[in-house]
Structure 1
Amino acid sequence: MSIPLTTKLHSARVLNWLCYCGLLLLFVVRNLFLPGGSLALWLVQTVPLLLVLPGLLKRHFRAYLWLCFILLLYITNGALHVTMPGRDWQHGILLVLSLTLFFSAMMTSRWQRMQ
Protein backbone atom coordinates (compact mmCIF):
# COMPACT_ATOMS: atom_id res chain seq x y z
CA MET A 1 0.00 0.00 0.00
CA SER A 2 1.40 3.34 -1.07
CA ILE A 3 1.46 6.47 1.07
CA PRO A 4 -0.44 9.38 -0.56
CA LEU A 5 1.68 12.14 -2.04
CA THR A 6 0.06 14.83 0.11
CA THR A 7 0.99 12.93 3.29
CA LYS A 8 4.60 12.55 2.12
CA LEU A 9 4.78 16.22 1.22
CA HIS A 10 3.35 17.34 4.56
CA SER A 11 5.77 15.11 6.51
CA ALA A 12 8.74 16.37 4.50
CA ARG A 13 7.75 20.00 5.08
CA VAL A 14 7.47 19.43 8.83
CA LEU A 15 10.91 17.77 8.83
CA ASN A 16 12.29 20.67 6.76
CA TRP A 17 11.14 23.25 9.29
CA LEU A 18 12.38 21.22 12.27
CA CYS A 19 15.86 20.86 10.79
CA TYR A 20 15.95 24.43 9.46
CA CYS A 21 15.07 25.88 12.87
CA GLY A 22 17.45 23.40 14.51
CA LEU A 23 20.34 24.65 12.38
CA LEU A 24 19.56 28.27 13.17
CA LEU A 25 19.29 27.45 16.87
CA LEU A 26 22.59 25.55 16.76
CA PHE A 27 24.33 28.56 15.23
CA VAL A 28 22.85 30.88 17.87
CA VAL A 29 24.00 28.61 20.72
CA ARG A 30 27.46 28.00 19.23
CA ASN A 31 28.28 31.60 18.44
CA LEU A 32 26.41 33.71 20.95
CA PHE A 33 26.38 31.62 24.13
CA LEU A 34 29.43 29.31 24.03
CA PRO A 35 33.03 30.51 24.33
CA GLY A 36 34.89 30.94 21.08
CA GLY A 37 31.91 32.19 19.10
CA SER A 38 31.44 35.58 17.53
CA LEU A 39 28.71 37.70 16.03
CA ALA A 40 30.54 37.87 12.70
CA LEU A 41 30.75 34.07 12.44
CA TRP A 42 27.07 33.80 13.37
CA LEU A 43 26.19 36.15 10.50
CA VAL A 44 28.34 34.20 8.04
CA GLN A 45 26.61 30.97 9.06
CA THR A 46 23.02 32.20 9.13
CA VAL A 47 22.78 34.64 6.21
CA PRO A 48 22.93 31.91 3.49
CA LEU A 49 20.08 30.06 5.21
CA LEU A 50 18.05 33.23 5.58
CA LEU A 51 18.39 34.04 1.87
CA VAL A 52 16.03 31.20 0.93
CA LEU A 53 13.55 31.84 3.74
CA PRO A 54 11.07 33.92 1.66
CA GLY A 55 10.86 31.15 -0.94
CA LEU A 56 10.42 28.50 1.73
CA LEU A 57 7.58 30.47 3.28
CA LYS A 58 5.89 30.66 -0.14
CA ARG A 59 6.55 26.91 -0.63
CA HIS A 60 8.26 27.51 -3.96
CA PHE A 61 9.99 24.37 -5.18
CA ARG A 62 13.04 26.25 -6.45
CA ALA A 63 13.72 27.58 -2.96
CA TYR A 64 14.12 23.98 -1.81
CA LEU A 65 16.58 23.34 -4.64
CA TRP A 66 18.63 26.41 -3.69
CA LEU A 67 18.52 25.29 -0.07
CA CYS A 68 20.06 21.97 -1.15
CA PHE A 69 22.92 23.78 -2.88
CA ILE A 70 23.55 25.93 0.18
CA LEU A 71 23.42 22.91 2.48
CA LEU A 72 26.29 21.27 0.62
CA LEU A 73 28.60 23.85 2.26
CA TYR A 74 27.32 22.97 5.72
CA ILE A 75 27.57 19.22 5.03
CA THR A 76 31.15 19.60 3.83
CA ASN A 77 32.07 21.69 6.87
CA GLY A 78 30.41 19.26 9.27
CA ALA A 79 32.01 16.19 7.69
CA LEU A 80 35.44 17.83 7.74
CA HIS A 81 35.24 18.76 11.41
CA VAL A 82 33.64 15.50 12.58
CA THR A 83 36.58 13.50 11.24
CA MET A 84 39.15 15.66 13.04
CA PRO A 85 40.20 14.52 16.51
CA GLY A 86 39.24 16.60 19.50
CA ARG A 87 36.27 18.38 17.96
CA ASP A 88 33.14 19.41 19.86
CA TRP A 89 29.69 17.81 19.72
CA GLN A 90 28.25 20.69 17.72
CA HIS A 91 29.86 19.51 14.49
CA GLY A 92 28.12 16.14 14.70
CA ILE A 93 24.76 17.84 15.22
CA LEU A 94 25.53 20.19 12.32
CA LEU A 95 26.23 17.24 10.05
CA VAL A 96 23.10 15.31 11.05
CA LEU A 97 20.80 18.33 10.73
CA SER A 98 22.33 19.38 7.41
CA LEU A 99 22.06 15.91 5.88
CA THR A 100 18.51 15.43 7.09
CA LEU A 101 17.47 18.84 5.79
CA PHE A 102 19.23 18.19 2.47
CA PHE A 103 17.38 14.95 1.81
CA SER A 104 14.00 16.22 3.02
CA ALA A 105 14.31 19.43 0.95
CA MET A 106 15.30 17.41 -2.09
CA MET A 107 12.28 15.14 -1.72
CA THR A 108 9.99 18.10 -1.01
CA SER A 109 10.97 19.78 -4.28
CA ARG A 110 10.46 16.50 -6.15
CA TRP A 111 7.04 15.82 -4.62
CA GLN A 112 5.93 19.41 -5.21
CA ARG A 113 6.75 19.09 -8.89
CA MET A 114 4.79 15.83 -9.06
CA GLN A 115 1.74 17.37 -7.41
Structure 2
Amino acid sequence: MNDSVQRKLKIALNINWFCYIGLLLLFAARNLFLEGGSIPFWLLQTVPLLLVLPGLIEQRYRSYLWLCFILLLYITASIVDVMLPTHGWQDGVLMVLSLILFFSAMMSSRWHRMQ
Protein backbone atom coordinates (compact mmCIF):
# COMPACT_ATOMS: atom_id res chain seq x y z
CA MET A 1 0.00 0.00 0.00
CA ASN A 2 2.84 2.38 0.77
CA ASP A 3 4.14 2.19 -2.82
CA SER A 4 0.67 2.99 -4.15
CA VAL A 5 0.32 5.95 -1.79
CA GLN A 6 3.75 7.27 -2.82
CA ARG A 7 2.77 7.14 -6.49
CA LYS A 8 -0.56 8.88 -5.86
CA LEU A 9 1.13 11.53 -3.73
CA LYS A 10 3.70 12.26 -6.43
CA ILE A 11 0.98 12.72 -9.06
CA ALA A 12 -1.08 14.92 -6.72
CA LEU A 13 1.95 17.09 -5.89
CA ASN A 14 2.64 17.63 -9.59
CA ILE A 15 -0.99 18.64 -10.13
CA ASN A 16 -0.78 20.95 -7.10
CA TRP A 17 2.23 22.81 -8.45
CA PHE A 18 0.80 23.05 -11.97
CA CYS A 19 -2.49 24.56 -10.73
CA TYR A 20 -0.83 26.74 -8.07
CA ILE A 21 1.54 28.31 -10.58
CA GLY A 22 -1.31 28.53 -13.09
CA LEU A 23 -3.40 30.55 -10.62
CA LEU A 24 -0.53 32.93 -9.89
CA LEU A 25 0.13 33.42 -13.61
CA LEU A 26 -3.58 33.96 -14.28
CA PHE A 27 -3.78 36.64 -11.59
CA ALA A 28 -0.64 38.31 -12.94
CA ALA A 29 -1.97 38.27 -16.51
CA ARG A 30 -5.38 39.61 -15.48
CA ASN A 31 -4.15 42.42 -13.28
CA LEU A 32 -0.79 43.43 -14.64
CA PHE A 33 -1.12 42.99 -18.39
CA LEU A 34 -4.80 43.28 -19.30
CA GLU A 35 -6.84 46.45 -19.30
CA GLY A 36 -8.85 47.05 -16.16
CA GLY A 37 -6.41 45.31 -13.80
CA SER A 38 -4.70 46.89 -10.85
CA ILE A 39 -1.73 46.13 -8.64
CA PRO A 40 -3.70 46.37 -5.35
CA PHE A 41 -6.23 43.84 -6.64
CA TRP A 42 -3.38 41.59 -7.82
CA LEU A 43 -1.88 41.73 -4.31
CA LEU A 44 -5.27 40.96 -2.78
CA GLN A 45 -5.54 37.86 -4.98
CA THR A 46 -1.98 36.56 -4.64
CA VAL A 47 -0.99 37.24 -1.03
CA PRO A 48 -3.33 34.60 0.48
CA LEU A 49 -1.89 31.98 -1.87
CA LEU A 50 1.66 33.04 -1.06
CA LEU A 51 1.08 32.67 2.69
CA VAL A 52 1.13 28.88 2.42
CA LEU A 53 4.03 28.71 -0.05
CA PRO A 54 6.78 27.98 2.54
CA GLY A 55 4.77 25.07 3.92
CA LEU A 56 4.08 23.74 0.43
CA ILE A 57 7.77 23.82 -0.39
CA GLU A 58 8.54 21.90 2.81
CA GLN A 59 5.60 19.58 2.06
CA ARG A 60 3.81 20.02 5.37
CA TYR A 61 0.39 18.42 5.25
CA ARG A 62 -1.19 21.24 7.28
CA SER A 63 -0.20 23.74 4.61
CA TYR A 64 -2.24 21.75 2.10
CA LEU A 65 -5.21 21.90 4.49
CA TRP A 66 -4.84 25.67 4.84
CA LEU A 67 -4.58 25.95 1.08
CA CYS A 68 -7.94 24.16 0.82
CA PHE A 69 -9.55 26.69 3.18
CA ILE A 70 -8.07 29.60 1.22
CA LEU A 71 -9.22 28.09 -2.07
CA LEU A 72 -12.83 28.02 -0.90
CA LEU A 73 -12.87 31.81 -1.26
CA TYR A 74 -11.53 31.62 -4.81
CA ILE A 75 -13.95 28.86 -5.75
CA THR A 76 -16.95 30.78 -4.41
CA ALA A 77 -15.96 34.00 -6.16
CA SER A 78 -15.21 32.26 -9.46
CA ILE A 79 -18.52 30.38 -9.51
CA VAL A 80 -20.37 33.66 -8.98
CA ASP A 81 -18.32 35.31 -11.74
CA VAL A 82 -18.94 32.45 -14.18
CA MET A 83 -22.69 32.81 -13.69
CA LEU A 84 -22.65 36.50 -14.63
CA PRO A 85 -23.67 37.28 -18.21
CA THR A 86 -20.51 39.35 -18.69
CA HIS A 87 -18.05 36.65 -17.63
CA GLY A 88 -14.80 36.11 -19.50
CA TRP A 89 -12.75 33.04 -20.21
CA GLN A 90 -10.50 33.92 -17.26
CA ASP A 91 -13.37 33.28 -14.84
CA GLY A 92 -13.82 29.75 -16.16
CA VAL A 93 -10.10 29.05 -16.01
CA LEU A 94 -9.98 30.39 -12.45
CA MET A 95 -12.86 28.13 -11.43
CA VAL A 96 -11.33 25.01 -13.00
CA LEU A 97 -7.83 25.63 -11.61
CA SER A 98 -9.22 26.38 -8.15
CA LEU A 99 -11.36 23.25 -8.07
CA ILE A 100 -8.59 20.97 -9.32
CA LEU A 101 -6.13 22.49 -6.84
CA PHE A 102 -8.64 22.11 -4.01
CA PHE A 103 -9.18 18.40 -4.63
CA SER A 104 -5.52 17.62 -5.25
CA ALA A 105 -4.43 19.56 -2.14
CA MET A 106 -7.04 17.77 -0.05
CA MET A 107 -5.85 14.36 -1.26
CA SER A 108 -2.17 15.36 -0.90
CA SER A 109 -2.77 16.17 2.74
CA ARG A 110 -4.42 12.82 3.29
CA TRP A 111 -1.70 10.86 1.51
CA HIS A 112 1.04 12.75 3.41
CA ARG A 113 -0.47 11.57 6.68
CA MET A 114 -0.74 7.98 5.44
CA GLN A 115 3.01 7.71 4.92
- Normalised by the length of structure 2, the TM-score is 0.97
Equivalent residue, structure 1, for 2:15: 15
Equivalent residue, structure 2, for 1:98: 98
Q: Distance in 2 between matches of 1:87 and 1:114?
A: 41
Structure 1 gap ranges (5+): none
Q: Does 1:70 align with 2:73?
A: no
Summarize the alignment of residues 54-69 of structure 1 with structure 2, pairs less than 5 Å apart: 54-69=54-69
SS in 2 for 1:4: helix
Cα RMSD of the aligned pairs, angstroms, is: 0.8
Equivalent residue, structure 2, for 1:4: 4
Q: Does 1:40 align with 2:40?
A: yes
Q: Does 1:88 align with 2:88?
A: yes
CA-to-aligned-CA distance 1:48-73 (integer Å, 9 cap, x gap)? 00000000000000000000000000
Q: Distance in 1 between matches of 2:12 and 2:90?
A: 24
Equivalent residue, structure 1, for 2:26: 26
Q: Distance in 2 between matches of 1:51 and 1:113?
A: 22
Q: In the comparison of the two structures, how many residue pairs are matched?
A: 113
Identity %: 64
Any runs of at least 4 consecutive aligned residues in structure 1 with deviations exceeding 6 A, and if so which? Answer: none
Deviation at 1:101, TM superposition (A): 0.1
Instruction: Compare the two structures and name the one with the higher helix fraction.
Output: 2
Q: Distance in 2 between matches of 1:34 and 1:108?
A: 34
1:41 maps to a residue whose letter is F
Q: Distance in 1 between matches of 2:22 and 2:92?
A: 13
Equivalent residue, structure 2, for 1:79: 79
Deviation at 1:34, TM superposition (A): 0.3
Q: Does 1:110 align with 2:110?
A: yes
